[in-house]
Structure 1
Amino acid sequence: MDSLITAAARALAAGDPLGALNRVALREDAPALALRGIAMAQLGDFDRAKILVRRAARAFSPKEAVARARCIVAEAEIALVSRDLGWRVKALDAARATLEAHGDHVNAAHARYLEIRRLLLIGRLDEAERFLAELDPTQVPPASTAAHELIVAGLAMRRLRTKEARAALARAERAALQARIPALKGEVESAFHLLNTPAARLIARGEERPLLLEDVEALQTSKAFVVDACRHVVRDANTFVSLARRPVLFALARALAEAWPADVPRATLIARAFRGKHADESHRARLRVEMGRLRAVLKKLAGVNATKQGFALTPRSAREVVVLARPVEEQHGAVLAFLTDGESWSSSALALALGASQRTVQRALDELSAAGKVQWFGRGRARRWMTPPMPGFTTTLLLPAPLPSD
């Protein structure tokens, strides 16, 4: 490399994209195109960055396999940051193998970290953990070490292991300080913020209060009877019942838990479960059927007893009944959970992360946009959706991650 390319590369490694552009902005050779693309990505112009990196990959000769592989890795990183999660995973894996074969272990590890971060975003935690276990954070530069620890913290938060998450973030903070990259330090600070803001609400005996992630973790190991409205499950210290695919039963269980130890009138239960404004005999007959089903599902956890006015919940062994609810409950809460990270998402990436059809996600985005809760920019395939982060709340519990006992 010539001196300008070397200086530009060092500026980018230090998080100085303008300094890099000052050296290579007018050059059209392959190394300069690649560095310009990375600089534009650091400045937030992801569409331009993607074009430049692809041009650089084509400009390198077939004999320059390592340089081409690095361009593929850079394009994948741009896609990740711009929340375009439908990139060519096989191409990234092939680029990683090329880098590894040519002795570029640092960039090969970086490629693997990108793949793991994508898996983390779309909720495939087991795969992410398996790939992460193959990497040694002591054999990479401080910036990669910080990325490693951020992934460890992200996994721990989604698994509700807050002590492990805090320890990982402390290590990430030290590595980010060594790397001297402001954006990396900001990412660590944002992750710390998630641990120090309310992650859910606790509803018990007609009152509610916010919970930090540590409080949610403690609740999961307590002896209370918990109706978890974040995951649609019911549990106590020994038994776990999923009602994720039985929304009517879950609505009834939640209504009974919120009113405990009092009973719930039949008209209220009908309104909650069937959305009926006026209860008639058919509604009451259906309520009796659904209550029988709920009684059978919860027989190991609690009794569901008829009262003069309605129904009441009687836990078998727990002394307390609580509801764990999302910090803010929205019809399209899962979509908002991803958008409130402050990044811009494509509808296709959201569909991939949520495991839903793109048309379903698009309808949700249109409704949220009409309500003024999200905004978009760009046209066609370049359209991206985003919303400012919701003040005072973390959306960790809204993301598609199983509980430890799932």
Structure 2
Amino acid sequence: MDSLITAAARALAAGDPLGALKRVALRDDAPALALRGIAMAQIGDLVRATALLKSAARAFGRKEAVARARCVVAEAEIALVSRDLTWPAKALDAARATLEAHGDRINAAHARNVEVRRLLLIGRLDEAERMLATLDAAPLPPASRAAHELVVAGIAIRRLQTKSAREALTRARHAASEADIPALMAEVERASRLLITPAARLIARGEQRPLLLEEIEALPASGALVVDACRNIVRDARLAVPLATRPVLFALARALGEAWPGDVPRGVLIARAFRGKHADESHRARLRVEIGRLRAEIRTLADVKATKRGFALAPRRACEIAVLVPPVEEQHPAVLAFLADGESWSSSALAIALGASPRTVQRALEQLAAAGKVQSYGRGRARRWMTPPVPGFPTILLLPGALPGD
């Protein structure tokens, strides 16, 4: 490898893409194409970066399997950053296996880290943790250690394990400082701000207040019965009852939880659960049926008692009922939660991340666009959707993933 290639690689490792381009911008040999691609990715021109890396992979001969595998790993990372979730994950796995077979532990670890980040993004936390457990980050260089700890923190945050998240972010901050890469240090600080930003509102006894992730984690252990409108579940310290697929039942549970220790009139429950402006006998009959279903679903946590004017929630073990709601309640909150990361998403990638049909996601995007909440650019398959981050929007609790104890 000649001196210019070596100098360009060192510049990229130090987070100086312009310095790398000064050395290899006019060269078209395979190593230069690969370095130019990585430099363009660091600058933010992901389309050009992908094209350069593909050219580099083709330019490397069959005997240069390690170099080609490194190009595949870099291309996979660009696909992840650009939210191209249709990029073939098997190609990344094969590249990682090639790097491990040839003793390139650092790049193999980076490939595994990219795989884990993809799993984390789409909410497959158990798989991400299992894959992460096979990686020893101690011998990695500082930049790779920082990236590894960011993933550890991301999983902990999604599981509402704030102590573990804080420890991982501290390790990430030290590694990023050792690497002395400004972009990496900024990424760590952005992740750290999640722990000091209100992630939900608590409604209890008619009063509201914002909650940090640490306070949300401690809520079930406080002895309260929590009606969680971020995850659409009802839970206490021992048990969680998911109602995400039963929106009518959850609407009733939330209305009863917000009114506790009082009751809720039948007309109000009908309006909240069935969107009915005028209650007739059919609505009241349906309400009785749905109340019976709710009573059966949450019977181990609470009872739903009839009163003279409506219904009231009566917890069995808990001494308090608290309702957890997003700080900002919007239409299609899960879609907005993904778009709030500031990246541009295709509707197909959103469908994969949300586990929903592409048509369902497309309808949600069209409704949000009509309301001025999101914007798109491009046409056809190249169409991308994005929105600036919404201050105070719960980008953590609305993303898919398991809760503590699940």
Say if 2:355 is the partner of 1:355.
Answer: yes
Q: Offset at 1:29?
A: 1.1
CA contact (8 A) 2:328 2:394 kept: no
Q: For the residues of structure 2 that align with 1:88 and 1:300, how far apart are their CA atoms?
A: 44
Q: Which residue of 1 aligns with 2:236?
A: 236
Aligned residue type for 1:130 = R
Q: Which residue number in structure 2 is paired with residue 109 of structure 1?
A: 109
1:240 deviates by 2.5
Measured after TM superposition, the shift of residue 73 of structure 1 is 0.6
Match of 1:30 in 2: 30
The question of whether the paired residues in 2 share the 8 Å contact of 1:197 and 1:394 is answered with: no
CA distance in 2, matches of 1:12, 1:383: 31
SS at match of 2:26: coil
Alignment of 1:127-142 (within 5 A): 127-142=127-142
> For residues 402 and 353 of structure 1, what CA distance do their matches in structure 2 show?
14
Q: Which residue of 1 aligns with 2:2?
A: 2
Q: Which residue of 1 aligns with 2:120?
A: 120
- Three-state SS of the structure 2 residue aligned to 1:171 is helix
Q: Secondary structure at the match of 2:262?
A: coil
Q: Distance in 2 between matches of 1:401 and 1:306?
A: 35
Alignment correspondent of 2:300: 300
Distance 1:328 1:391 in 2: 9
Runs of 4+ in 1 over 3 A off after TM superposition: none
Distance, in Å, in 1 between the alignment partners of 2:381 and 2:39 is 23
Q: Which residue of 2 aligns with 1:345?
A: 345
CA contact (8 A) 1:369 1:375 kept: yes
Q: 2:155 matched to 1:155?
A: yes
Residue aligned with 2:241, SS: strand
**Which residue number in structure 2 is paired with residue 284 of structure 1?**
284
How far has the Cα of 1:384 moved from its partner? 2.1
1:97 is aligned to: 97
- Cα distance, 1:394 vs. partner? 4.1
Give, in whole Å, the separation in 2 of the partners of 1:110 and 1:239.
38
Secondary structure, aligned partner of 1:221: helix
Paired residues of 1:123 and 1:353 also in contact (CA < 8 A): yes
**Distance in 2, Cα, partners of 1:285 & 1:266:** 11
CA drift at 1:230: 1.4
Relative to the length of structure 2, the TM-score reads: 0.97
Tell me what 1:248 maps to. 248
Q: Which residue of 1 aligns with 2:327?
A: 327
Counterpart-to-counterpart distance in 2, 1:46 and 1:405: 39
SS at structure 2 position matched to 1:362: helix
User: What is the CA-CA distance between 1:252 and the residue it aligns to?
Assistant: 0.7
User: How far 1:300 moved relative to its partner?
Assistant: 2.1
Give the counterpart letter for 1:265 in structure 2.
P
> Offset of 1:101 from its aligned partner?
1.1
Q: Distance in 1 between matches of 2:61 and 2:317?
A: 71
CA distance in 2, matches of 1:244, 1:261: 24
Measured in 2, the distance between the counterparts of 1:237 and 1:401 equals 18
AA at the equivalent of 1:371? A
Q: Secondary structure at the match of 2:400?
A: coil
Q: Which residue of 2 aligns with 1:59?
A: 59
In 1: Cα distance, 2:236 partner to 2:70 partner: 50
Secondary structure of 2:202's counterpart equals: strand
Letter in 2 for 1:154: G
Shift of residue 393, structure 1, vs aligned partner = 3.9
Question: What are the within-5 Å matches in structure 2 for residues 361-376 of structure 1?
Answer: 361-376=361-376
| Aligned-partner Cα distance in 2 for 1:73–1:263 | 58
Q: Which moved more, 1:208-217 or 1:336-345?
A: 336-345
Residue of structure 2 equivalent to 1:183: 183
Range with greater deviation from structure 2 (345-354 or 165-174): 345-354
SS state of the match for residue 226, structure 2?
Answer: strand
Q: Secondary structure of the residue that 1:401 maps to in structure 2?
A: coil
Question: What are the superposed Cα offsets for residues 176-221 of structure 1, whole Å, 9 maximum, x if unpaired?
Answer: 0111111111110000011110111101112211100000001022
Q: Which residue of 1 aligns with 2:317?
A: 317
CA positional deviation for 1:239: 3.2
Give me the whole-angstrom Cα distance separating, in 2, the residues matched to 1:217 and 1:62: 52
How much does 1:235 deviate?
Answer: 1.8
Q: What amino acid is the match of 1:167?
A: E
Q: Distance in 2 between matches of 1:377 and 1:8?
A: 34
TM-score, structure 1 normalization: 0.97
Q: Are the counterparts in 2 of residues 223 and 318 from structure 1 also a CA contact under 8 Å? A: yes
How far apart in 1 are the matches of 2:293 and 2:355?
29
- Which residue of structure 2 lines up, in the alignment, with residue 174 of structure 1? 174
Q: CA contact under 8 A between 1:197 and 1:393: conserved in structure 2?
A: no
Q: Distance in 2 between matches of 1:173 and 1:148?
A: 11
Helix, strand or coil at the partner of 1:201: strand
How far off is 1:331 after superposition? 2.1
Q: Is the Cα–Cα contact under 8 Å of residues 331 and 368 in structure 2 kept in the other structure?
A: no
**Partner residue in 2 for 1:11:** 11
> SS at 1:203's partner residue?
strand
SS of match in other structure, 2:313: strand
Query: What is the one-letter code of the residue matched to 1:189?
Result: E
Letter in 2 for 1:194: L
Task: Quote the Cα distance in structure 2 between the aligned partners of 1:236 and 1:83.
Answer: 36
Q: Following TM superposition, by how much is the alpha carbon of 1:269 offset from its aligned partner in structure 2, in angstroms? A: 0.3
Structure 2, unpaired ranges of 5+: none
> Could you say what secondary structure the match of 1:19 adopts?
helix
Displacement of 1:297 after TM fit? 2.2
Aligned length: 406
Q: Counterpart amino acid of 1:135?
A: L
Deviations 1:203-261 (A, max 9, x none): 11122111000000010222111111111111223333222222111111110110111
